[in-house]
Amino acid sequence: MKAASWVLASGNPGKAREFEALLSPLGVSLVMQARFGIADADEPHPTFVENALAKARHACAGAGLASLADDSGICVPALGGAPGVRSARYSDPEPGQSRDRIDQANNRKLLREVSVLAQPVACFYYCVVVLMRHAADPRPIITEGVWPGELVAQPRGSHGFGYDAHFLPDGETLTAAEMDPSRKNQVSHRARALAGLVAALAAKGGVSDVRRQGEAPQGGVQEKSE
């Protein structure tokens, strides 16, 4: 039996698969926020941590459960850190576009911008993870992970999502999209951030401590039946 259910403050199915795989050993079941009728939160902030906090608080308030949120993206120091917090919408997509089409447009824009730079172009994936026990949690758990590498011009691999097919991690011969998902889940920015979360949870008493200290306020929205 699962020890806990948390709402995942994301509508990205690729991200959900990665989080579920990484947290399953802890006995955590993730429920995507759409199952509660919760729309995506606004992400107007200039930093990853502010956006992650906003998403976690929004999901907590709507679901009445502990929530897990992240904000992540790819950063190119030579571009001043861009795409950064705009990684998922770097190409300014039109409403209603599929995730795959948006990813393709984002990659095209990034590759066009770095084509005039000295090669190879250094970059890194960054992820900040927030676990919020309830919407008014004054001390959410916050951890981060960095995955350094470089950009490759030709896409390689069919796994992953986002910029994975163009991201070659330092010390690796495979892009993130060529890696077996189980391997990626051991070394990625998200894995590193979640490793920090696991360590923080262990120091605070484990997953059960999240439930003891963060019981949802009464009147939380019930999960909608499908």
* Residues that are catalytic: 71
Q: What is the largest CA-CA distance in the chain?
A: 57
Count of H-run helices and E-run strands, the chain: 6, 6
CB atoms within 10 A of CB 171: 8
- Tell which residue, 89, 85, 91, 87, has the closest CA to residue 105: 91
Question: Is the distance from CB of 39 to CB of 194 less than 8 angstroms?
Answer: no
Instruction: Give the DSSP letter of residue 146.
Output: E
Rounded Cα distance between 65 and 31, Å, is: 10
75 three-state secondary structure: strand
Instruction: Return contacts of 114-117, CB within 8 angstroms, 24+ apart.
Output: 114/76, 114/78, 114/79, 114/151, 115/153, 117/78
**How distant is the alpha carbon of residue 193 from its chain centre?**
10
Q: Find all residues with CB under 8 Å of 194, minimum gap 6, and list them.
A: 19, 22, 23, 129, 143, 145
